[in-house]
Amino acid sequence: MTRIATIARKTKETEIALSLKLDGAGKVTVSTGVGFLDHMLTALATHAGFDLDLSCKGDLEVDDHHTAEDCAIALGQAIDEALGDRRGIVRFGSAYAPLDEALARAVIDLVTRPHATVNLPLNYDRIGGLACENIPHVLTSLAISGRFCLHMDLLRGDNDHHKAEAAFKATALALRQAVGRTGAAGAPSTKGVL
């Protein structure tokens, strides 16, 4: 089974076209008009081993919030769709990712009860064109729309760019683990379904 998804999301605030292949080679093209968001989504897909093509035209004349949020929602929806009934997946994933002085930990459960606890304290208002308040919001929106549980904790760090990138890379590595295939026919759950 090929685990792919295509999402077209159009609102009054954004227009997004996205294609995702979970079992990819990390071939990534992201264009949102917000450079640091492109950088984070590229890091996420690359280190998760996903093939991702995402383009977004958003109302950047207002601010970057709708673009950041809607890209995360669309990517989460694509992950959910590509996973299908989630039979035969590893389900759980956990990873640490360092970036120089920064260290982040992400733990994921691909159960279909969405939850996100994101502990990512940042010091500045913006990194490039992305408001720092939107960085943890992207991770939260990704987990909620992807219907999975994410716990992401920044363990240490000084530089905001390093902290954010470590968080996205840790999330990516945990996702890569969790979406892996076991070859089992059923769902990895005592309930029999996820």
For tokens 């601010």, what's the residue? 63
pLDDT attached to residue 191: 78
Residue ranges covered by each domain of the chain: 4-178
Provide, for the chain, the percentages of residues in helix, strand and coil under a 3-state DSSP scheme, each rounded to the nearest 5.
35, 30, 35
pLDDT attached to residue 183: 85
pLDDT attached to residue 185: 85
Secondary structure class of 138 (helix, strand, coil): helix
Secondary structure class of 180 (helix, strand, coil): coil
CATH fit for domain 4-178, picks 3.30.230.40, 3.40.190.10, 3.40.1210.10, 3.40.50.300: 3.30.230.40
pLDDT attached to residue 189: 78
Instruction: List 56's β-bridge partners, or say none.
Output: 16
pLDDT digits (tens, 9 = 90+) for 67-94: 999 999 999 999 999 999 999 999 999 9
Q: What angle do CA 97, 100, 106 make, to 5 degrees?
A: 20
The pTM (predicted TM-score) of the whole model is 0.96
List of the chain residues with pLDDT < 50: none
133: CB partners within 8 A, 6+ apart = none
Q: How many helices (H) and strands (E) does the chain have?
A: 4, 10
